[in-house]
Protein backbone atom coordinates (compact mmCIF):
# COMPACT_ATOMS: atom_id res chain seq x y z
CA UNK A 1 0.00 0.00 0.00
CA UNK A 2 1.36 3.45 -0.94
CA UNK A 3 0.72 6.59 1.00
CA UNK A 4 0.97 9.79 -0.93
CA UNK A 5 1.18 12.09 2.07
CA UNK A 6 3.29 12.20 5.18
CA UNK A 7 0.16 12.74 7.23
CA UNK A 8 -1.43 9.50 6.06
CA UNK A 9 1.84 7.64 6.69
CA UNK A 10 1.94 8.90 10.26
CA UNK A 11 -1.75 8.20 10.73
CA UNK A 12 -1.49 4.66 9.39
CA UNK A 13 1.50 3.80 11.59
CA UNK A 14 -0.08 5.35 14.63
CA UNK A 15 -3.42 3.61 14.04
CA UNK A 16 -1.75 0.25 13.49
CA UNK A 17 0.32 0.58 16.64
CA UNK A 18 -2.73 1.72 18.62
CA UNK A 19 -4.69 -1.36 17.58
CA UNK A 20 -1.85 -3.76 18.43
CA UNK A 21 -1.08 -2.06 21.74
CA UNK A 22 -4.69 -1.85 22.81
CA UNK A 23 -5.55 -5.45 21.89
CA UNK A 24 -2.49 -6.67 23.76
CA UNK A 25 -3.41 -4.49 26.72
CA UNK A 26 -6.95 -5.84 26.69
CA UNK A 27 -5.77 -9.47 26.60
CA UNK A 28 -3.22 -8.92 29.32
CA UNK A 29 -5.54 -7.03 31.64
CA UNK A 30 -8.33 -9.55 31.15
CA UNK A 31 -5.96 -12.42 31.95
CA UNK A 32 -4.66 -10.66 35.03
CA UNK A 33 -8.16 -9.85 36.15
CA UNK A 34 -9.29 -13.41 35.62
CA UNK A 35 -6.33 -14.73 37.54
CA UNK A 36 -7.03 -12.42 40.39
CA UNK A 37 -10.72 -13.26 40.41
CA UNK A 38 -9.90 -16.95 40.49
CA UNK A 39 -7.64 -16.36 43.48
CA UNK A 40 -10.36 -14.47 45.30
CA UNK A 41 -12.81 -17.23 44.44
CA UNK A 42 -10.44 -19.78 45.86
CA UNK A 43 -10.05 -17.72 49.02
CA UNK A 44 -13.81 -17.46 49.34
CA UNK A 45 -14.14 -21.22 49.00
CA UNK A 46 -11.27 -21.75 51.48
CA UNK A 47 -13.08 -19.51 53.96
CA UNK A 48 -16.16 -21.66 53.46
CA UNK A 49 -14.01 -24.75 54.20
CA UNK A 50 -12.94 -23.24 57.52
CA UNK A 51 -16.55 -22.39 58.34
CA UNK A 52 -17.50 -25.91 57.49
CA UNK A 53 -14.77 -27.35 59.63
CA UNK A 54 -15.88 -25.16 62.53
CA UNK A 55 -19.48 -26.21 62.21
CA UNK A 56 -18.93 -29.96 61.92
CA UNK A 57 -17.87 -32.38 64.59
CA UNK A 58 -18.25 -36.02 65.68
CA UNK A 59 -21.00 -36.79 68.13
CA UNK A 60 -20.54 -39.31 70.92
CA UNK A 61 -21.42 -42.10 68.55
CA UNK A 62 -18.61 -41.11 66.29
CA UNK A 63 -21.01 -39.82 63.65
CA UNK A 64 -20.28 -36.69 61.74
CA UNK A 65 -22.78 -34.13 62.75
CA UNK A 66 -23.43 -30.44 62.47
CA UNK A 67 -25.61 -28.04 60.66
CA UNK A 68 -23.24 -25.71 58.86
CA UNK A 69 -24.70 -22.53 57.40
CA UNK A 70 -22.37 -21.17 54.76
CA UNK A 71 -24.63 -18.15 54.23
CA UNK A 72 -25.28 -18.65 50.56
CA UNK A 73 -28.77 -19.93 49.70
CA UNK A 74 -27.33 -21.50 46.54
CA UNK A 75 -26.01 -24.30 48.77
CA UNK A 76 -29.68 -25.22 49.34
CA UNK A 77 -30.67 -25.14 45.69
CA UNK A 78 -30.45 -28.52 44.00
CA UNK A 79 -27.60 -28.82 41.53
CA UNK A 80 -26.83 -25.14 41.73
CA UNK A 81 -23.16 -25.82 41.32
CA UNK A 82 -22.53 -24.70 44.89
CA UNK A 83 -21.92 -27.71 47.07
CA UNK A 84 -20.32 -28.77 50.24
CA UNK A 85 -19.74 -32.19 51.73
CA UNK A 86 -17.91 -33.87 54.58
CA UNK A 87 -17.02 -37.48 53.81
CA UNK A 88 -14.71 -40.00 55.37
CA UNK A 89 -11.56 -40.51 53.33
CA UNK A 90 -12.01 -44.21 53.20
CA UNK A 91 -15.68 -45.14 53.41
CA UNK A 92 -14.60 -48.76 53.42
CA UNK A 93 -12.71 -48.58 56.78
CA UNK A 94 -15.89 -48.86 58.76
CA UNK A 95 -19.67 -48.65 58.32
CA UNK A 96 -19.79 -46.48 61.38
CA UNK A 97 -18.37 -43.66 59.34
CA UNK A 98 -21.00 -41.44 57.83
CA UNK A 99 -21.04 -38.40 55.54
CA UNK A 100 -23.02 -35.16 55.43
CA UNK A 101 -23.53 -32.82 52.47
CA UNK A 102 -25.32 -29.75 51.27
CA UNK A 103 -28.91 -29.93 50.14
CA UNK A 104 -27.84 -28.84 46.69
CA UNK A 105 -26.14 -32.18 46.16
CA UNK A 106 -29.46 -34.00 46.81
CA UNK A 107 -28.41 -37.63 46.62
CA UNK A 108 -25.43 -37.30 44.36
CA UNK A 109 -21.77 -37.39 45.15
CA UNK A 110 -18.98 -35.43 43.51
CA UNK A 111 -16.31 -37.72 42.16
CA UNK A 112 -13.11 -35.93 43.15
CA UNK A 113 -9.87 -36.86 41.48
CA UNK A 114 -7.43 -39.23 43.07
CA UNK A 115 -5.08 -37.62 45.61
CA UNK A 116 -2.17 -38.85 43.54
CA UNK A 117 -3.31 -36.78 40.62
CA UNK A 118 -4.07 -33.61 42.57
CA UNK A 119 -2.00 -33.61 45.69
CA UNK A 120 -2.97 -32.03 49.00
CA UNK A 121 -0.62 -29.19 49.81
CA UNK A 122 1.10 -30.12 53.08
CA UNK A 123 -1.24 -33.14 53.06
CA UNK A 124 -4.02 -30.77 54.03
CA UNK A 125 -5.56 -28.58 51.34
CA UNK A 126 -6.00 -28.83 47.60
CA UNK A 127 -7.84 -26.93 44.93
CA UNK A 128 -8.88 -27.98 41.45
CA UNK A 129 -11.29 -27.56 38.61
CA UNK A 130 -13.81 -30.17 37.68
CA UNK A 131 -17.06 -30.74 35.92
CA UNK A 132 -20.19 -30.58 38.05
CA UNK A 133 -23.28 -32.71 38.10
CA UNK A 134 -25.02 -30.76 35.36
CA UNK A 135 -21.90 -30.35 33.32
CA UNK A 136 -21.19 -26.93 34.91
CA UNK A 137 -17.62 -25.88 35.53
CA UNK A 138 -16.66 -25.98 39.20
CA UNK A 139 -13.85 -24.74 41.35
CA UNK A 140 -13.34 -27.10 44.24
CA UNK A 141 -11.42 -26.65 47.50
CA UNK A 142 -10.92 -29.76 49.53
CA UNK A 143 -9.25 -30.29 52.91
CA UNK A 144 -8.53 -33.46 54.81
CA UNK A 145 -8.39 -33.54 58.58
CA UNK A 146 -8.79 -36.06 61.35
CA UNK A 147 -11.97 -35.66 63.35
CA UNK A 148 -12.29 -36.89 66.95
CA UNK A 149 -9.86 -38.99 68.96
CA UNK A 150 -9.35 -41.67 66.37
CA UNK A 151 -7.47 -41.51 63.17
CA UNK A 152 -10.38 -41.34 60.78
CA UNK A 153 -9.65 -38.85 58.10
CA UNK A 154 -12.51 -36.78 56.75
CA UNK A 155 -12.51 -34.79 53.61
CA UNK A 156 -14.20 -31.40 53.67
CA UNK A 157 -15.22 -30.20 50.23
CA UNK A 158 -16.64 -26.91 49.03
CA UNK A 159 -17.42 -26.39 45.36
CA UNK A 160 -18.32 -23.09 43.72
CA UNK A 161 -19.93 -22.57 40.34
CA UNK A 162 -17.49 -20.93 37.92
CA UNK A 163 -20.38 -19.27 36.10
CA UNK A 164 -20.21 -16.40 38.60
CA UNK A 165 -16.52 -16.02 38.00
CA UNK A 166 -16.95 -16.09 34.21
CA UNK A 167 -19.72 -13.49 34.35
CA UNK A 168 -17.58 -11.17 36.41
CA UNK A 169 -14.62 -11.57 34.04
CA UNK A 170 -16.78 -11.01 31.00
CA UNK A 171 -18.26 -7.85 32.46
CA UNK A 172 -14.78 -6.58 33.20
CA UNK A 173 -13.61 -7.39 29.70
CA UNK A 174 -16.56 -5.60 28.16
CA UNK A 175 -15.93 -2.47 30.17
CA UNK A 176 -12.27 -2.69 29.39
CA UNK A 177 -12.83 -2.98 25.65
CA UNK A 178 -15.21 -0.03 25.64
CA UNK A 179 -12.72 2.06 27.57
CA UNK A 180 -9.76 1.03 25.47
CA UNK A 181 -11.65 1.67 22.23
CA UNK A 182 -12.41 5.20 23.40
CA UNK A 183 -8.79 5.58 24.41
CA UNK A 184 -7.61 4.35 20.98
CA UNK A 185 -9.93 6.74 19.19
CA UNK A 186 -8.58 9.56 21.32
CA UNK A 187 -5.06 8.57 20.40
CA UNK A 188 -5.79 8.60 16.67
CA UNK A 189 -7.45 12.00 16.96
CA UNK A 190 -4.57 13.45 18.93
CA UNK A 191 -2.07 11.96 16.44
CA UNK A 192 -3.98 13.66 13.66
CA UNK A 193 -3.83 16.94 15.57
CA UNK A 194 -0.11 16.52 16.20
CA UNK A 195 0.52 15.87 12.52
CA UNK A 196 -1.58 18.83 11.51
CA UNK A 197 0.22 21.10 13.90
CA UNK A 198 3.60 19.48 13.45
CA UNK A 199 3.53 19.63 9.66
CA UNK A 200 2.25 23.18 9.52
CA UNK A 201 5.71 24.61 8.75
CA UNK A 202 5.69 22.51 5.58
CA UNK A 203 2.49 24.07 4.36
CA UNK A 204 3.91 27.47 5.28
CA UNK A 205 6.95 26.64 3.13
CA UNK A 206 4.57 25.74 0.31
CA UNK A 207 2.81 29.09 0.67
CA UNK A 208 6.16 30.89 0.70
CA UNK A 209 7.13 29.16 -2.57
CA UNK A 210 3.81 30.19 -4.01
CA UNK A 211 4.52 33.80 -3.10
CA UNK A 212 7.81 33.57 -4.98
CA UNK A 213 6.03 32.20 -8.03
CA UNK A 214 3.54 35.04 -7.86
CA UNK A 215 6.37 37.51 -7.75
CA UNK A 216 5.46 38.70 -4.27
CA UNK A 217 8.74 37.58 -2.71
CA UNK A 218 12.30 36.85 -3.81
CA UNK A 219 13.16 34.45 -1.00
CA UNK A 220 11.40 31.93 1.22
CA UNK A 221 10.50 34.12 4.15
CA UNK A 222 9.50 33.35 7.71
CA UNK A 223 10.71 31.35 10.70
CA UNK A 224 11.01 27.62 10.18
CA UNK A 225 11.70 24.84 12.72
CA UNK A 226 15.22 23.41 12.95
CA UNK A 227 14.29 20.37 10.87
CA UNK A 228 13.15 22.34 7.79
CA UNK A 229 15.32 25.43 8.20
CA UNK A 230 18.30 23.87 6.37
CA UNK A 231 16.02 22.88 3.49
CA UNK A 232 14.61 26.40 3.31
CA UNK A 233 18.11 27.88 3.38
CA UNK A 234 19.20 25.54 0.60
CA UNK A 235 16.20 26.57 -1.48
CA UNK A 236 17.02 30.23 -0.99
CA UNK A 237 20.62 29.56 -1.95
CA UNK A 238 19.40 27.73 -5.05
CA UNK A 239 17.21 30.66 -6.05
CA UNK A 240 20.18 33.01 -5.60
CA UNK A 241 22.51 30.73 -7.55
CA UNK A 242 19.98 30.47 -10.33
CA UNK A 243 19.75 34.23 -10.50
CA UNK A 244 23.53 34.59 -10.57
CA UNK A 245 23.95 32.03 -13.34
CA UNK A 246 21.29 33.70 -15.45
CA UNK A 247 22.81 37.09 -14.82
CA UNK A 248 26.24 35.84 -15.81
CA UNK A 249 24.97 34.17 -18.97
CA UNK A 250 23.12 37.31 -19.90
CA UNK A 251 26.18 39.48 -19.24
CA UNK A 252 28.49 37.24 -21.27
CA UNK A 253 26.23 37.06 -24.30
CA UNK A 254 25.77 40.81 -24.00
CA UNK A 255 29.50 41.47 -23.77
CA UNK A 256 30.25 39.35 -26.81
CA UNK A 257 27.47 40.86 -28.90
CA UNK A 258 28.31 44.41 -27.87
CA UNK A 259 32.00 43.90 -28.50
CA UNK A 260 31.15 42.98 -32.09
CA UNK A 261 29.26 46.19 -32.69
CA UNK A 262 32.31 48.48 -32.90
CA UNK A 263 34.03 46.45 -35.66
CA UNK A 264 30.67 46.24 -37.43
CA UNK A 265 30.45 50.05 -37.30
CA UNK A 266 33.94 50.41 -38.71
CA UNK A 267 33.32 47.96 -41.56
CA UNK A 268 30.00 49.55 -42.37
CA UNK A 269 31.42 53.07 -42.57
CA UNK A 270 34.50 51.97 -44.45
CA UNK A 271 32.36 50.13 -47.01
CA UNK A 272 30.12 53.12 -47.51
CA UNK A 273 33.03 55.46 -48.18
CA UNK A 274 33.78 53.83 -51.53
CA UNK A 275 31.60 52.32 -54.20
CA UNK A 276 32.86 49.02 -55.59
CA UNK A 277 31.52 45.46 -55.83
CA UNK A 278 33.67 44.58 -52.82
CA UNK A 279 32.38 47.39 -50.66
CA UNK A 280 28.79 46.56 -51.60
CA UNK A 281 29.39 42.93 -50.66
CA UNK A 282 30.99 43.96 -47.37
CA UNK A 283 28.12 46.26 -46.54
CA UNK A 284 25.57 43.57 -47.29
CA UNK A 285 27.40 41.05 -45.10
CA UNK A 286 27.86 43.55 -42.30
CA UNK A 287 24.11 44.13 -42.20
CA UNK A 288 23.60 40.36 -41.95
CA UNK A 289 26.18 40.16 -39.14
CA UNK A 290 24.44 42.89 -37.23
CA UNK A 291 21.10 41.15 -37.56
CA UNK A 292 22.60 37.95 -36.16
CA UNK A 293 24.16 39.78 -33.25
CA UNK A 294 20.89 41.53 -32.51
CA UNK A 295 18.93 38.30 -32.72
CA UNK A 296 21.18 36.59 -30.16
CA UNK A 297 21.01 39.57 -27.87
CA UNK A 298 17.22 39.47 -28.00
CA UNK A 299 17.21 35.73 -27.50
CA UNK A 300 19.48 35.95 -24.47
CA UNK A 301 17.21 38.57 -23.04
CA UNK A 302 14.10 36.46 -23.60
CA UNK A 303 15.77 33.34 -22.14
CA UNK A 304 16.83 35.27 -19.07
CA UNK A 305 13.35 36.66 -18.77
CA UNK A 306 11.73 33.22 -18.84
CA UNK A 307 13.86 32.09 -15.92
CA UNK A 308 13.07 34.87 -13.51
CA UNK A 309 10.04 34.22 -11.40
CA UNK A 310 10.15 36.88 -8.79
CA UNK A 311 10.57 40.31 -10.33
CA UNK A 312 8.63 43.26 -8.95
CA UNK A 313 9.15 46.72 -10.32
CA UNK A 314 7.56 49.85 -8.86
CA UNK A 315 6.29 51.78 -11.88
CA UNK A 316 6.42 55.41 -10.75
CA UNK A 317 10.24 55.76 -10.40
CA UNK A 318 10.75 54.15 -13.83
CA UNK A 319 8.29 56.53 -15.47
CA UNK A 320 9.85 59.51 -13.74
CA UNK A 321 13.30 58.51 -14.93
CA UNK A 322 12.17 57.83 -18.50
CA UNK A 323 10.34 61.16 -18.63
CA UNK A 324 13.44 62.92 -17.30
CA UNK A 325 15.51 61.26 -20.03
CA UNK A 326 12.97 62.13 -22.72
CA UNK A 327 12.84 65.71 -21.51
CA UNK A 328 16.59 65.95 -21.88
CA UNK A 329 16.53 64.43 -25.37
CA UNK A 330 13.60 66.57 -26.47
CA UNK A 331 13.76 69.85 -24.54
CA UNK A 332 11.01 71.41 -26.66
CA UNK A 333 8.33 68.89 -25.74
CA UNK A 334 6.11 68.93 -22.71
CA UNK A 335 5.71 65.62 -20.86
CA UNK A 336 2.75 65.00 -18.56
CA UNK A 337 2.40 62.09 -16.14
CA UNK A 338 -0.90 60.90 -14.71
CA UNK A 339 -0.78 58.11 -12.15
CA UNK A 340 -3.41 56.77 -9.75
CA UNK A 341 -1.70 56.24 -6.40
CA UNK A 342 1.81 56.08 -7.89
CA UNK A 343 3.26 54.06 -5.02
CA UNK A 344 0.66 51.28 -5.46
CA UNK A 345 1.53 50.67 -9.12
CA UNK A 346 3.83 47.68 -9.29
CA UNK A 347 4.76 45.85 -12.46
CA UNK A 348 5.14 42.08 -12.13
CA UNK A 349 8.27 41.82 -14.24
CA UNK A 350 11.77 43.13 -14.72
CA UNK A 351 12.64 46.78 -14.58
CA UNK A 352 14.67 46.52 -17.80
CA UNK A 353 11.62 45.29 -19.68
CA UNK A 354 9.43 48.09 -18.42
CA UNK A 355 12.13 50.61 -19.33
CA UNK A 356 12.40 49.07 -22.78
CA UNK A 357 8.66 49.31 -23.41
CA UNK A 358 8.40 52.86 -22.06
CA UNK A 359 11.60 54.02 -23.77
CA UNK A 360 10.56 52.82 -27.21
CA UNK A 361 7.01 54.10 -26.94
CA UNK A 362 8.00 57.47 -25.52
CA UNK A 363 10.69 57.85 -28.16
CA UNK A 364 8.09 57.17 -30.84
CA UNK A 365 5.59 59.55 -29.35
CA UNK A 366 8.30 62.22 -29.04
CA UNK A 367 9.24 61.78 -32.68
CA UNK A 368 5.71 62.55 -33.86
CA UNK A 369 4.50 64.97 -31.17
CA UNK A 370 4.19 68.71 -31.81
CA UNK A 371 4.25 69.91 -28.24
CA UNK A 372 2.76 67.42 -25.82
CA UNK A 373 3.28 63.80 -24.78
CA UNK A 374 1.13 62.34 -22.06
CA UNK A 375 1.71 59.14 -20.12
CA UNK A 376 -0.90 57.73 -17.77
CA UNK A 377 -0.97 54.56 -15.70
CA UNK A 378 -3.98 52.94 -14.08
CA UNK A 379 -4.64 49.75 -12.26
CA UNK A 380 -7.21 47.46 -13.80
CA UNK A 381 -8.32 43.88 -13.90
CA UNK A 382 -8.44 41.63 -16.89
CA UNK A 383 -10.21 38.28 -16.75
CA UNK A 384 -7.54 35.64 -17.20
CA UNK A 385 -8.47 32.14 -18.33
CA UNK A 386 -8.66 30.94 -14.73
CA UNK A 387 -8.89 33.95 -12.47
CA UNK A 388 -9.07 37.71 -12.46
CA UNK A 389 -5.50 38.92 -12.91
CA UNK A 390 -4.51 42.40 -11.77
CA UNK A 391 -3.23 44.44 -14.72
CA UNK A 392 -1.55 47.75 -15.29
CA UNK A 393 -2.85 49.90 -18.10
CA UNK A 394 -0.29 52.28 -19.58
CA UNK A 395 -1.44 54.91 -22.05
CA UNK A 396 1.01 56.95 -24.09
CA UNK A 397 -0.49 59.75 -26.15
CA UNK A 398 0.85 62.53 -28.32
CA UNK A 399 -0.52 65.52 -30.18
CA UNK A 400 1.13 64.57 -33.46
CA UNK A 401 -0.55 63.62 -36.75
CA UNK A 402 -1.72 60.20 -35.51
CA UNK A 403 -2.51 57.22 -37.71
CA UNK A 404 -5.50 56.20 -39.80
CA UNK A 405 -7.32 53.00 -38.95
CA UNK A 406 -5.56 51.11 -41.77
CA UNK A 407 -2.15 52.40 -40.67
CA UNK A 408 -2.86 51.33 -37.11
CA UNK A 409 -3.67 47.78 -38.20
CA UNK A 410 -0.54 47.72 -40.36
CA UNK A 411 1.63 49.01 -37.51
CA UNK A 412 0.48 46.26 -35.17
CA UNK A 413 0.91 43.61 -37.85
CA UNK A 414 4.42 44.72 -38.67
CA UNK A 415 5.38 44.55 -35.04
CA UNK A 416 4.10 41.01 -34.77
CA UNK A 417 7.25 39.10 -35.57
CA UNK A 418 10.87 39.76 -34.77
CA UNK A 419 12.18 38.46 -38.13
CA UNK A 420 10.12 40.80 -40.23
CA UNK A 421 11.30 43.93 -38.52
CA UNK A 422 14.02 46.15 -39.87
CA UNK A 423 15.72 48.88 -37.92
CA UNK A 424 13.71 52.05 -38.21
CA UNK A 425 10.77 50.43 -39.92
CA UNK A 426 7.19 51.17 -39.01
CA UNK A 427 6.61 52.20 -35.44
CA UNK A 428 9.47 50.07 -34.10
CA UNK A 429 6.87 48.19 -32.14
CA UNK A 430 8.50 44.80 -32.59
CA UNK A 431 10.63 44.79 -29.45
CA UNK A 432 7.73 46.24 -27.46
CA UNK A 433 5.45 43.60 -28.90
CA UNK A 434 7.88 40.82 -27.98
CA UNK A 435 8.15 41.99 -24.40
CA UNK A 436 4.44 42.57 -23.97
CA UNK A 437 3.54 39.16 -25.34
CA UNK A 438 6.11 37.50 -23.08
CA UNK A 439 4.16 38.93 -20.17
CA UNK A 440 0.85 37.91 -21.77
CA UNK A 441 -0.06 41.56 -22.05
CA UNK A 442 -1.75 43.43 -24.87
CA UNK A 443 -1.11 46.41 -27.15
CA UNK A 444 -3.84 48.53 -28.69
CA UNK A 445 -3.78 51.68 -30.78
CA UNK A 446 -6.42 54.38 -30.72
CA UNK A 447 -6.96 58.06 -31.42
CA UNK A 448 -5.85 60.37 -28.66
CA UNK A 449 -7.83 63.27 -27.33
CA UNK A 450 -4.61 65.22 -27.72
CA UNK A 451 -5.01 64.78 -31.48
CA UNK A 452 -2.36 62.16 -32.20
CA UNK A 453 -1.91 58.50 -31.49
CA UNK A 454 -2.82 56.72 -28.26
CA UNK A 455 -1.02 53.49 -27.39
CA UNK A 456 -2.62 51.35 -24.73
CA UNK A 457 -0.43 48.69 -23.14
CA UNK A 458 -1.60 46.12 -20.63
CA UNK A 459 0.97 44.44 -18.41
CA UNK A 460 0.61 42.25 -15.33
CA UNK A 461 0.54 44.04 -12.00
CA UNK A 462 1.78 42.71 -8.68
CA UNK A 463 -0.06 43.35 -5.43
CA UNK A 464 1.06 46.43 -3.58
Partner 1 sequence: MRILVVEDDKDLNRQLVESLTEAGYVVDMAFDGEEGHFLGDTEPYDAVILDIGLPEMDGISVLEAWRREGKTMPVLILTARDRWSDKVSGIDAGADDYVTKPFHVEEVLARIRALIRRSVGIASSEIEIGPIRLDTKLSRVTVDGKNIKLTSHEFRLLSYLMHHQGKVISRTELVEHLYDQDFDRDSNTIEVFVGRLRKKLATDLIETVRGLGYRIQPAEDAV
Task: Provide the binding-site residues for partner 1, judged by CB under 8 A.
Answer: 254, 257-259, 261-266, 268-270, 272-273, 286, 290, 301, 321-322, 324-325, 328-329, 331-332, 351-352, 355-356, 358-360
Closest CA to 337 of 328, 348, 326: 326
Closest C-alpha to 337, from 375, 369, 377, 371:
375
Q: How far is the CB of 445 from partner 1 (least distance, A)?
A: 21
Residue closer to partner 1, measured from CB, 155 or 290: 290
Closer of 115 and 330 to partner 1 (Cβ): 330
CB nearer to partner 1: give 349 or 402: 349
Angle formed at CA 109 by CA 104 and CA 114, multiple of 5 degrees: 135
The DSSP bridge partners found for residue 85 are 101, 157
Q: Least distance (Å) from partner 1 to the CB of residue 457?
A: 15
Taking a C-beta distance cutoff of 8 angstroms, is the pair 151, 88 a contact?
no
DSSP, res 433:
H
* Side-chain-facing half-sphere of 393: CA atoms under 13 Å: 12
C-alpha closest to that of 311 among 389, 256, 239, 226: 239
Q: Please state, in angstroms and as integers, the Cα–Cα distance from residue 250 to each residue in 55, 301, 304, 435, following that order.
A: 112, 7, 7, 16
Nearer to partner 1, 94 or 263 (CB): 263
Question: Which residue, 261 or 379, is less far from partner 1 as judged by CB?
Answer: 261
| Cβ proximity to partner 1, 232 vs 297, nearer residue | 297
In sequence order, what are the residues at sequence separation of 6 or more whose Cβ sits closer than 8 angstroms to the Cβ of residue 428? 360, 363, 364, 415, 421
Residue 260 and residue 288 in contact, taking contact as beta carbons nearer than 8 Å = no
Question: What is the closest distance, in whole angstroms, from the C-beta atom of residue 375 to partner 1 in the complex?
Answer: 14
- Minimum CB separation from partner 1 for residue 2, in Å? 51
State the minimum distance, in angstroms, from the CB of residue 208 to partner 1.
Answer: 30
Choose between 111 and 273: whose C-beta lies nearer to partner 1: 273
CB of 419 to partner 1, least distance (A): 18
Of 155, 163, 162, the C-alpha closest to 84 is 155
Please, what is the minimum distance in Å from the beta carbon of residue 263 to partner 1? 8
Q: How far is the CB of 278 from partner 1 (least distance, A)?
A: 17
**Is residue 447 a contact partner of residue 402, using CB atoms and an 8 Å limit?**
yes
Least distance in Å: CB of 211 to partner 1? 26
Q: What angle do CA 131, 132, 138 make, to 5 degrees?
A: 70
Question: Between residues 61 and 332, which has the closer beta carbon with respect to partner 1?
Answer: 332
Tell me the three state secondary structure of residue 254.
helix
CA distances from 225 to 37, 234, 332, 356 (A): 52, 14, 61, 43
Question: Beta strands of 97-152 (E only): which ranges?
Answer: 100-101, 125-131, 137-146
Chain centroid, CA 199 distance in Å: 6
Nearest distance, CB of residue 415 and partner 1, angstroms: 17
Degrees, nearest 5: CA angle 125-129-134: 125
How many angstroms separate the CA atoms of 445 and 395, rounded?
10
Containing 346, the helix (H) or strand (E) segment is strand 346-347
Nearer to partner 1 (CB atom), residue 71 or residue 424: 424
Find the shortest distance in angstroms from Cβ 225 to partner 1: 42
Amino acid sequence: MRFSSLASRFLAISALWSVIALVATALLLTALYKNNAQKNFNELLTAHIYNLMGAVDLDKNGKVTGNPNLGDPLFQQPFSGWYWSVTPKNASTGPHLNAIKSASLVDATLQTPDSKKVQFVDGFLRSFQMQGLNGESLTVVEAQIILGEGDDVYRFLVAGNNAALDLETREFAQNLILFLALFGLGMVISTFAIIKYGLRPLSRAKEALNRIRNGEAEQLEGEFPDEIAPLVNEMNALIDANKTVLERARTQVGNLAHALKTPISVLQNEARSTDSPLSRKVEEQVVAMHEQVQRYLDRARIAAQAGSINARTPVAPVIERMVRVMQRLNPNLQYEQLMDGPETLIFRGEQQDLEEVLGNLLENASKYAHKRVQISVQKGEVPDSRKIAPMLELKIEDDGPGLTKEQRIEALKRGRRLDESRPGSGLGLSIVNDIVSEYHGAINLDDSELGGLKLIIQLPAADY
